[in-house]
Structure 1
Amino acid sequence: MRDWITATGGRQEAGYRVTFNTPDAPRVALDASAITPLAHLGVLDVEGPDAETFLQGQTSAQVSLADGDLAPLTCFCTPKGRMLANAQLLRVAPAHYRLIMHASLVASLAEHLKKFAPFYKVELRERDDLALLGLIGHEAAALAEVRFDVVPPRPWHQASNDTYQVLAHPGPRPRLLICLPADQVEVDWAWLKEHTTPVGNAVWRLHDIQAGLAWLDADQRDSYLPQMINWEALGGISFKKGCYTGQEVVARAHFRGQVKKRLFRAQLEGDSLPAPGASITDANDKPKGEVLAAELDAYGQAELLAVLSTKEDIGPLSVNGQAVKLLKLPYPIERVDPEALASS
């Protein structure tokens, strides 16, 4: 785990988790403003005169849309269209782009991209010197404006200055992701703690689940087409750009309607958290999908994101003996062009 997390006073645990002695943390984030170290996320920078061209040939995003305002979702795929990582793309400066993704995928994606980097004037840097904090609550925007001297953006956009990048994410409560130098965390955390309640990053992950937003980790690498996590419904795929690795398969799955699995949001009748990858079965104990992420909500029940078959009415489902209740996603399963997000 990274040293900057100790500056928050949180306990570093396995699985990129950080916890605090905050009772009923999920409820705290519903009723008041909260702050959390986003230990499960990491940063990869792509910088150099050819950075835009280099990324354009590798990622599902239309890179020119990452203009310092819009910070689109994106993904990197194998030639067979399976995701190596999904990420958010932002522009720090001309010829300097930043990718935020699950921390367990930063090194492997960097290694993958380095195979193509020698053909471009570009540098890849794993940014262990940066930290990511999450602000949750209706006061988040006001706090960010005062502390970080930026006008907080709307979801999937950014606001930046020489020190901070502030990104807005969707969820049941307003959420801001703050990217800052790791050596600045102690000072900024102390100020934010005066106005918010520290909570573990499980709360942020719960809000991702409730937003229908899945961040793949190293165990899920090379397993899913982007559409299987509803990436095109979140504006994470540009179908208007030119070729990139895996583009042909991703486009064919979209235009021919060949996506046989989709991301679902669900709740369990119980408080036992299934591990990512746990099998979801039907009434005949036949596998119908698997868990991607799971966290306890404000009422002590397990909520999860799962990739499930869409081929038929699969009837009652369960995981580890707990009944699965499907919940409505907060967005329709429809293609959202990132070009439209840029112009809205």
Structure 2
Amino acid sequence: MATPMVLASTARITHLACVDVKGEDAEKFLQGQTSAHAALANGHFAPLTCFCTPKGRMLANAQLLRLSDNHFRLVLSNSLVEPLIAHLKKFAAFYRAELSAPDDVMLFGAATDDASVIADALNLSLQTVTWQQQSDEQGNSALCYPDSVEDETSDRWLFVLTDSAAEHFQADAEPRHWQLSDIRRGLAWLEADQQDQYLPQMLNWEALGGISFKKGCYTGQEVVARAHFRGQVKKRLARGVIEGNEPLEHGANITNAMDKTVGEVVTSAINDSGQVELLTVINTKALEEGELTLENQPLTLCNLPYRIERLDPEQLSQTVPAK
């Protein structure tokens, strides 16, 4: 085997993994379970989506790719792969659809220069609009992700590669930089210990285009729609930073000036300045009041790079992919 190409700004992404959904009824099956309109996953547009309980609480959030007519792939937290498969198999039994966790794929996160190297080596074209997808017949995919905010000229791509393709590359960057980029973009991926805790809107999922309000029913749809149309979401995802050099535990309490718990940590990562950047779900009134504390330190709130308003995936899917 040839010596792998060393990619200094590419990270091996191990906190995310994949679930494959295959079969003649794969699209029909997914349509009844996910917040995305499954038909929008057309091989070019890869919508965000989520899976909910009947009470509208999230069991997992993911990105939905289509690799062929009867083959869909979900990218989600690695800790949720087995729990989600176990949950969905209860419904898949009534469809010609099979679920599995592919053991022959690896994920890489790359910035512009390295992404071009990977794409050229695999003869993939890099799409330049967020959530666009390019895949080949071997099952390799390149997904355009929102930039890192701090450097808006630096796009980034998530590569989902077969083992035979991945062996040609050596990723030398730290995965925390990819996680920091997601945090700075206000994009939180649920993990297994966070199941059944949040409405999708509490993670700003409709503001990211992860909920279709124009599709038919899916598990939890009635509750999710009611919360949207009646304005009943009292907690929202917020971005913040504190001093520190260790990631925070999920659920770490955020308190207000009255020492009352008003929020909790969803995800966090260490930056290069000795700080912990995080996403947290906080009571909306507490966000307006400020003076928040976490781990006995002041929590500094940062702006999110998007508005808290509905963004329809149907609108996002209209972007014409690059040839």
Equivalent residue number for residue 215 of structure 2: 241
One-letter code of the match for 1:38?
Answer: I
One-letter code of the match for 1:182?
Answer: D
One-letter code of the match for 1:131?
Answer: M
Q: How does 1:104-115 map to 2 (within 5 A)?
A: 104-115=79-90
**8 Å CA contact 1:87, 1:101 repeated in 2:** yes
Equivalent residue number for residue 304 of structure 2: 329
Equivalent residue number for residue 262 of structure 2: 288
Q: Secondary structure, in 3 states, of the residue corresponding to 1:248?
A: helix
Matched, 1:179 2:160: yes
**8 Å CA contact 1:270, 1:322 repeated in 2:** no
**How far 1:218 moved relative to its partner?**
0.4
Equivalent residue number for residue 38 of structure 1: 13
Matched, 1:50 2:31: no
TM-score (norm 2): 0.91
Equivalent residue number for residue 69 of structure 1: 44
**How far 1:140 moved relative to its partner?**
3.9
Residue 67 to residue 328, structure 1, CA distance change in 2 (3 Å): same
Give the share of equivalent positions with the same residue, in percent: 51
Q: Which runs of 5+ in 1 are unaligned?
A: 1-6, 10-31
Q: Distance in 2 between matches of 1:289 and 1:72?
A: 28
One-letter code of the match for 2:101?
Answer: E
Matched, 1:259 2:233: yes
Q: Distance in 2 between matches of 1:132 and 1:60?
A: 24
**8 Å CA contact 1:33, 1:135 repeated in 2:** no
**8 Å CA contact 1:140, 1:174 repeated in 2:** no
Q: Distance in 2 between matches of 1:166 and 1:331?
A: 24
Q: Residue 122 of structure 2 is aligned with which of 131, 139, 148?
A: 148
Q: How does 1:98-247 map to 2 (within 5 A)?
A: 98-136=73-111, 138-153=112-127, 154-163=129-138, 164-172=140-148, 173-189=154-170, 198-247=172-221
Q: Distance in 2 between matches of 1:276 and 1:215?
A: 12
Q: Distance in 2 between matches of 1:111 and 1:216?
A: 17
**How far 1:34 moved relative to its partner?**
0.7
Q: Secondary structure, in 3 states, of the residue corresponding to 2:281?
A: strand
Q: Secondary structure, in 3 states, of the residue corresponding to 1:234?
A: coil
Q: Distance in 1 between matches of 2:289 and 2:299?
A: 12
**8 Å CA contact 1:274, 1:319 repeated in 2:** no
Q: Secondary structure, in 3 states, of the residue corresponding to 2:93?
A: helix
* Cα deviations by residue, 1:175-229 (Å, 9 ceiling, x for unpaired): 111111124422233xxx6xxxx12211111111011100000011111000000
**8 Å CA contact 1:66, 1:72 repeated in 2:** yes
Q: Distance in 2 between matches of 1:253 and 1:140?
A: 42
Q: Distance in 2 between matches of 1:182 and 1:222?
A: 33
Structure with higher helix content: 1
**How far 1:148 moved relative to its partner?**
2.0
Equivalent residue number for residue 151 of structure 2: none
**8 Å CA contact 1:144, 1:152 repeated in 2:** no
